[in-house]
Amino acid sequence: MAKKIILIVLLLTTLILAPLYLIEARQGCCSWHGGVCGCQCCDGTPLSSTCAPYYPQCNSTHPIFDPIDETPNKPGLIDLDKLHEQFSEKRQTVKISEVIDGDTIKTSTGEKIRLIGIDTPETKDPRKPVQCFGEEASNYLESLIEGREVQLEEDSIGDTIDKYDRLLRYIYSQNENINAKMIKDGYSYAYTNYPFSMSDEYKKLENEAREAKRGLWAENTCNGEREMLINEEKLSWWQRILKFIFN
């Protein structure tokens, strides 16, 4: 009887741990190459012989290579613009009619777009006061894309619509990844609460901006603190009321 119980426990343990191991192994695939996009790494590199077994649907039509080649030739960030050039045919061209805040925009056809993988300080949430560097982030995004034609691109693994029915997209202007630029220049935090193919690269860009003390990371602006408020005179009347009630 004891042997049967041990066998059952071992079987249940295997059934529970095997899927977790598979998920962890899949997440590690192409970690140096922007993640997995379809049946290859996002920068065009074929799946390695280590990763290929986790994508059996790809084995018959896509080549694999030796795992030693997964190490990049030199350290540093992946060229995000070059990485996405191969997907340019999938992009949709739209005109931006309004920048709502630093991470949300509106097209001339009325669609609301939430930029994938970034989170700028709040400026329009009625439940919160304007956060440090929120207005600067909105103004910076306006200077980059408002009134211009840009290209929208879906992520290969993440959601395409959020809970507010906003389209989740990468934004490109003159083939430059605007989402990445907002983080790199210190106007946004990397938002990695949900999976998307560029999460690792965006965290690296955030770390780079923090170390260089750019934008909201500078000591004379926010020092990386989201809740540090802007000057009192910049608050609107309803924000002053909320500040009086909750402080």
- What CATH number did the domain enclosing 130 receive? 2.40.50.90
Known active-site residue 136:
no
- Of the three residues 43, 70, 97, the one that is the final residue of a domain is 70
Catalytic residue selected from 114, 154, 169, 206: 114
Shared domain check, 61 and 114: no
**What's the predicted TM-score (pTM) here?**
0.60
Amino acid 101: pLDDT:
96
63 φψ region: left (φ > 0), alpha (ψ -120 to 50), beta (else): beta
- Of the three residues 37, 70, 103, the one that is the final residue of a domain is 70
Shared domain check, 159 and 44: no
Whether 246 maps to a domain, the answer reads: no
pLDDT band at 67 (very low <50, low <70, confident <90, very high): very low
Strands (E), the chain: 36-37, 40-41, 47-48, 64-65, 92-101, 104-107, 112-115, 118-119, 149-153, 167-173, 176-177, 189-190
Shared domain check, 96 and 181: yes
Whether 87 maps to a domain, the answer reads: yes
> How would you classify the pairing of strands 167-173 and 112-115?
parallel
Q: What is the mean pLDDT of residues 129-148?
A: 95
pLDDT band at 72 (very low <50, low <70, confident <90, very high): very low
Shared domain check, 113 and 47: no
Catalytic residue selected from 111, 142, 146, 166: 166
What is the Cβ-side half-sphere exposure of residue 63, based on CA atoms within 13 angstroms? 5
Whether 76 maps to a domain, the answer reads: no
Shared domain check, 201 and 97: yes
How much of the chain exceeds pLDDT 90, in percent? 52
Catalytic residue selected from 122, 136, 153, 201: 122
Known active-site residue 226:
no
- Of the three residues 70, 94, 119, the one that is the final residue of a domain is 70
Q: What is the mean pLDDT of residues 67-92?
A: 55
Shared domain check, 123 and 224: yes
Q: Is the confidence at residue 133, as pLDDT, over 60?
A: yes
Amino acid 125: pLDDT:
82
Whether 231 maps to a domain, the answer reads: yes
Whether 245 maps to a domain, the answer reads: no
Shared domain check, 186 and 94: yes
Shared domain check, 91 and 49: no
Cα separation of 108 and 96, whole Å? 6
Return the minimum-mean-pLDDT range out of 94-108, 157-171, 218-232.
218-232
pLDDT tens profile 200-213: 999 999 999 999 99
Shared domain check, 167 and 55: no
Q: Is the confidence at residue 69, as pLDDT, over 60?
A: no
Whose tokens are 């290579």? That residue is 65
Shared domain check, 93 and 65: no
Known active-site residue 122:
yes
Q: Which domain holds residue 47?
A: 2-70
Whether 243 maps to a domain, the answer reads: no
Shared domain check, 212 and 108: yes
Q: Is the confidence at residue 50, as pLDDT, over 70?
A: no
Task: Provide the domain count of the chain.
Answer: 2
Shared domain check, 210 and 95: yes
